[in-house]
Structure 1
């Protein structure tokens, strides 16, 4: 840590000032682990004020030596390439947020020129057209990038501090009715109909469903193994990646009618990469699955936003059948029972009626004590 004594101002004795006409005072300071730095000023007061800022930065650990200006767009590109810990599907969601929202707001500006007020203004602009949840995710990517920039020493501090975000309202899940799911299975594009039936019966995530391969189907035990998911965009040469969480790795039982569906599919044409569900031999990618869902929404009233609605439907059937929260969590591959309750607690039958029955009549009044017309206190 530099000491104040190490930082000083002296009158510049050089006949021709280094930093231009009128520069009469030069500040000199030595940051920890670096050589001596110098900067000239016209007045002693300006030099002293500048040194005070350097001391404060060094003492707080926010000191950043003078560097070449870095555009946010350039650093954002580097930051995205370094997100190796993210799943491929997650990285695929980061890029559009930068392309459509963050870069149009800040991409042309230097990374260290953006202030907290600028970030708050951008959040306000995003909120005018985006859902609160999308604004929150977009801002989260920007804040994470700036956190990395501070660690890399590119900026001294992050402007993503104390930003007010729009409130994300918790909307209770409203499961599809069985008749709606049946109509969905009857009217969606033909290659996707087995997917609807299987997803309703197993509750798999879309990427798990589309990535299921025959070597993960145990016909003898009537079980399937879920240990990977479909990633990428190449339908003729599908790729697989890790699941959403470690808890997503599971083996689940499949009912007799659903197993018969798999046996029938096994006898038919096979898909690329040995996937169970395919369209004309090609694996079904996220985009095409979404397109099929959007098309059938025009035909079937009451459908939600996507394939996740079938997962909600499956969960609702398990809950109405009396399964415990732990069993439902395992079946769905949730991180823990808390995640399950957070999403579906309102679907479990209320214990309030049972509580009333358990306590009703335990304490009673003698019949001749009614009505209560006597004195308020003993005589």
Structure 2
């Protein structure tokens, strides 16, 4: 059953449907002609018969998001991931304070992405869209909306740090390793040992910080990655992904130094532990890395995570098998490794350019 009437210069259409034992109304106004209003009402009648109609809702976008998160996500995600969802919630409530869920459309969401991208990194904007898309899918499944308002919208954002700044070239990589190894093991900083471990293993900060002596196999010259250190809550937690659980083969020279380190710290729980019996923070590790890079006169200043990029880039540039490098880094598949480390070290890039030009010149 529907009703069509004129309001001012435009037409309005109403249809009525029983929902959960209650008579509910769905309204749309602004039609320029009665025929348009009638056509919409007919479409809604068909949807009503097919049980696909979406009723008008007074539910705010922010309220639906929080309800969905508390019900479906909060019990299953890590504490670190919770912070991301909380950040998305705060952003939604700031940008869409009074927006009803069923009033969202692709235009409004694209405008939001455009505005958000003006002040945030591209990677942050991509994650924001990904998490909100989950809510859109849930809202469709629950019958609150009929279309995905995130579909085919484009993410924009500030350019991240240039790829070349994320890893060290081979001369600086070797100089950094030599510099740390020149420091007597008895007085060497804990963070220097973490830096050396990152260069030799390609492991993440949280994986290295979470290493316990039981994770070190001196006989087989490997370290076992099974947990990560949460520096916010001061606790061990599972690895980033199941594929991140892995054994990493380490060079004999490094394992010799690590054994010397063990003889100096046999009673500690963590391989790299400060006086407060906890691993150093990422801030402390980054501070030490910047100091070391300054001391060797490095051409680039990178973050601790950049040591992971340095490790992977160096192996790939020297022809190490992609599958092995991917497994060493703990990636789920080689496509992640390819997309992240498609670049080569500068010396390798120059060599490949010259090789290509010489080959093409002989055509």
Alignment match, 2:190: 191
* Structure 2 gaps, min length 5: 5-12, 28-33
How far the C-alpha of 1:38 sits from its partner, in A, is: 5.8
Alignment match, 2:84: 93
* Change over 3 Å in CA distance of 1:193–1:132 after alignment to 2: same
Alignment match, 2:7: none
CA distance in 1, matches of 2:136, 2:149: 8
- The answer on 1:234 being equivalent to 2:233 is yes
Alignment match, 2:307: 310
How far the C-alpha of 1:218 sits from its partner, in A, is: 0.9
Number of residues paired by the alignment?
A: 327
Contact 1:226 1:248 in 2 (8 A): yes
User: Aligned ranges for residues 75-224 of structure 1 at < 5 Å?
Assistant: 75-81=64-70, 82-83=72-73, 84=75, 86-99=77-90, 101-166=91-156, 172-173=163-164, 175-176=167-168, 177-178=172-173, 181-182=176-177, 190-224=189-223
* Change over 3 Å in CA distance of 1:36–1:353 after alignment to 2: same
- The answer on 1:345 being equivalent to 2:342 is yes
CA distance in 1, matches of 2:218, 2:22: 74
CA distance in 1, matches of 2:313, 2:241: 22
**3-state DSSP class of the match of 1:119?**
helix
* Structure 1 gaps, min length 5: 1-6, 11-24, 364-379
CA distance in 1, matches of 2:89, 2:273: 32
* Change over 3 Å in CA distance of 1:154–1:29 after alignment to 2: closer
Contact 2:222 2:250 in 1 (8 A): yes
* Change over 3 Å in CA distance of 1:80–1:284 after alignment to 2: farther
Alignment match, 1:4: none
User: Aligned ranges for residues 324-343 of structure 1 at < 5 Å?
Assistant: 324-343=321-340
Contact 1:271 1:282 in 2 (8 A): no
Give the aligned CA root-mean-square deviation in angstroms: 4.0
User: Aligned ranges for residues 49-64 of structure 1 at < 5 Å?
Assistant: 51-52=41-42, 54-55=44-45, 57-58=47-48, 62-64=52-54
Contact 2:229 2:236 in 1 (8 A): yes
TM-score (norm 1): 0.70
Contact 1:97 1:138 in 2 (8 A): yes
CA distance in 1, matches of 2:24, 2:241: 52
How far the C-alpha of 1:335 sits from its partner, in A, is: 2.2
Alignment match, 2:31: none
Whichever of the two has the greater Rg, that structure is: 1
